[in-house]
Amino acid sequence: MRVADASLGGERSTPGGRSRPAAAAEPSPLPVSIVALSAATGVLLVAAAYTAGRLGPSGSPWADRAYWLGQAFILVPTTLRLVSRRLLTAAETLALVVVLTVAEYLAMICYSPTGFSYPDELEHWRSTVNLLGTGKLFTVNYLLPISPHYPGLEEVTSAFVSITGLGVFPSGLIVAGVAHLLFVCLLYVLFREASGSYRVAGVAVLCYASSSLFESFDSMFVYQTLALPFLGLTLLATWRLAGGGRSRPRAGWLTVAALAIAATVITHHVTSYVLVVMLIGITVAALLTGHRQVAGWTAVPAALSVLAVIAWIILAAPGTSSYLQPFAAGMLQGLRAIFFGEHVAAAPALTGPLGNKLLAAAAVLVVSALLPVGWWRVWRRHRHQPLPLAMAIGSVSWYVVVLIRFTVADGSELAGRSETFVFVPVAYVVALAIGYLAGAVVRRQARVVAAAVLVVVLLLLFDGLVNGWPPYWERLPGAYQVAGSERSVEPETVAGARWALAALGPGNRFAADVGSYAVLGGYGDQNPVRDVAYLYETPTWTALDTSRSAQQALHYVWVDERLSRALPASGQYFPVDPNAGKYKHPLSPAGLAKFDNLPDLSRIYDSGNVVIYQLPGS
């Protein structure tokens, strides 16, 4: 059920379906060891750039150049080796995939090597600390209320902490890093199963690495990172269960699939829903290609996944629908506006430097143009194979993502999050297109086409970095930035949060700005409240402030005076901010200083910029 596709050169198929090196291929002058050394050099340059970014308010003038030079050392040799027509073995291809994945993960760690600074990681750190401290699942986490109901990441990390004696931070890095590498390796195997070519599989992994969150969110200490390898393992086990790889121990593969489904469902909600869709898609593709026996076997994991998702929502996570409802409603509203002409608020224009916008537009055009070529390749070579056909059908979702990105409010974030899943079929189909275009030339054009392929793949990879996370305004770590996500996690803010834990104890309800929110909940083990903008936006304390703060059971107010000195880098000052994206001036100093004029409020902490007030009755 595998058809080798050797369009990229350096590999040909045999009658038995296996791949062997092409006779015309030549040994590569760029061995994997040199590629690995270059990647290590790139990580060192990225680390140096990050260090320079921390040196002062503006960092070092060469820091940004050093960062991009380091990324070039990581990406260019790996890409050049994978897309060239030189001889490449299966072991070398996998080694290159591992080198790329590990190097980019180490580069991400260098951004914050001593503690979590990404807000999403702080949210899951809080759930892990709660689990370790109480020994109980489903403990409330005000930072991310849904997180305790999907405790797979926290369970694995807390077990690792208990076994090794390491802290949550190093344990989380190890768990996330291993999970990320395992997912990429499973993707490589799936792409190999679908194409019959390890070279195409390697290029497909390169294309997948160009998704905007590959180097950041998909490898962070967040629940999706751990759920992804279970998704990949389920897909592989399902394919082997159906006999896709000429495997026959069906009881074993069914057991693996069932366990992987369960692990996915209890780890991350969205990943489990995507898994259901993917399994159903493979089953439908098997029916369309006439493989009824394959469809019968793939239908079993599909049914198990549906039952597991429903059971977990009913028994353990009934609040999932209300948590996801706002995201789904916004997306559906935007899609209705597109297809039925309904009125909807326009999506905000893309922000950032002009070069970033142009690169993003070029990447969208390249992928959109390559997909039809890949579909044609699937039709010509793989239309009787369920897995390639399922990939081709799934890749159509790319155009939906593009529509969401440009038409839906918060469309850029939604599109970025969805790329993690959409790029699985997209990367495969694009790799087929690249392989075909690279091979469908006469010999005298080979050098030109090889150079064009290299440029295209590097364009996609660098677009993923330029327009991924962290955003351009905090690409390098540096001095404190108002509402700057990672750059709001700085020593003075962390010190205030730790003081709150030591002096006030855990679990107090705080009002705080968006930059301090995750720090206070993570490092401080407090329970910050999201809808508190009203407290900071009026110059005087009102009766409404008294009433609302009492209804929210607020104990303390966190005031960072730097909010009156700069506009918010992220566009909003508070987690729930009615004026997000509308600010023309910083917050009024009077709105932040009014707490000093109230006799019933106590100033209990003052570090210069950060002040904590205790509300009456706390």
What one-character-per-residue DSSP string does 273-297 give? HHHHHHHHHHHHHHHHTT-HHHHHH
Q: pLDDT tens, 69-99? A: 999 999 999 999 998 877 788 999 999 999 9
Provide mean pLDDT across the span 210-229.
95
Provide mean pLDDT across the span 332-359.
66
Looking at residue 142, its pLDDT comes to 86
The answer on pLDDT for 339 being more than 90 is no
Sign of CA dihedral 176, 177, 178, 181: positive
Provide mean pLDDT across the span 543-562.
93
Looking at residue 12, its pLDDT comes to 44
The answer on pLDDT for 445 being more than 60 is yes
How would residue 411 be classed by pLDDT, with cut points 50, 70 and 90? low
Provide mean pLDDT across the span 28-34.
80
The answer on pLDDT for 344 being more than 60 is no
Q: Encoding tokens for residue 11? A: 């590999």
Sequence-ordered strand ranges (E) for 456-551: 509-511, 527-529
The answer on pLDDT for 4 being more than 60 is no
Looking at residue 181, its pLDDT comes to 98
Q: pLDDT tens, 472-492? A: 888 999 889 999 888 999 999
Higher local confidence (pLDDT), 4 or 522:
522
How would residue 456 be classed by pLDDT, with cut points 50, 70 and 90? very high
Q: pLDDT tens, 246-268? A: 556 788 999 999 999 999 999 99
Looking at residue 498, its pLDDT comes to 95
Looking at residue 601, its pLDDT comes to 85
Looking at residue 347, its pLDDT comes to 47
Q: What is the pTM of this model?
A: 0.91
Task: Give the list of residues 6+ apart from residue 17 with CB closer than 8 angstroms, or none.
Answer: 2, 3, 4, 196
Q: How far is CA 579 from the centre of its chain?
A: 27
The answer on pLDDT for 471 being more than 90 is no
The answer on pLDDT for 338 being more than 80 is no
Looking at residue 5, its pLDDT comes to 46
Q: pLDDT tens, 176-195? A: 999 999 999 999 999 999 99
Looking at residue 56, its pLDDT comes to 63
According to the per-residue pLDDT averaged within each range, which of 241-245, 408-412, 582-586 is highest? 582-586
The answer on pLDDT for 389 being more than 70 is yes
Provide mean pLDDT across the span 298-304.
97
Q: Are 116 and 125 in contact (CB under 8 A)?
A: yes
How do strand 610-614 and strand 602-606 relate by DSSP bridges?
antiparallel
Looking at residue 14, its pLDDT comes to 42
Q: Are 32 and 96 in contact (CB under 8 A)?
A: yes
**Least trusted range by pLDDT, from 6-10, 321-325, 389-393, 594-598:** 6-10
Could you give phi then psi for residue 22, rounded to 5 degrees?
A: -70, 145
Looking at residue 61, its pLDDT comes to 76
Strand partners for 612: 558, 605
Provide mean pLDDT across the span 583-599.
90
The answer on pLDDT for 108 being more than 60 is yes
Strand partners for 556: 510, 614
Higher local confidence (pLDDT), 408 or 560:
560
Looking at residue 47, its pLDDT comes to 96
Count other Cβ atoms within 10 Å, centred on residue 295: 20
How do strand 602-606 and strand 509-511 relate by DSSP bridges?
unpaired
Looking at residue 246, its pLDDT comes to 58
State the Cα–Cα distance between residues 353 and 568, nearest whole angstrom. 17
Q: What percent of the chain has pLDDT over 70?
A: 88
Q: Encoding tokens for residue 323? A: 């948590």
The answer on pLDDT for 44 being more than 50 is yes
Higher local confidence (pLDDT), 510 or 60:
510
How do strand 527-529 and strand 509-511 relate by DSSP bridges?
parallel
Looking at residue 249, its pLDDT comes to 76
Looking at residue 2, its pLDDT comes to 45
Q: What is the mean pLDDT of the chain?
A: 88
- Cα 573 to Cα 118, 119, 558, 583: the distances in Å are 17, 15, 13, 9
Higher local confidence (pLDDT), 209 or 14:
209
State the Cα–Cα distance between residues 2 and 387, nearest whole angstrom. 9
State the Cα–Cα distance between residues 151 and 174, nearest whole angstrom. 17
Provide mean pLDDT across the span 587-601.
88
The answer on pLDDT for 595 being more than 80 is yes
Looking at residue 15, its pLDDT comes to 37
Looking at residue 13, its pLDDT comes to 43
Looking at residue 40, its pLDDT comes to 97
Looking at residue 176, its pLDDT comes to 98
The answer on pLDDT for 343 being more than 80 is no
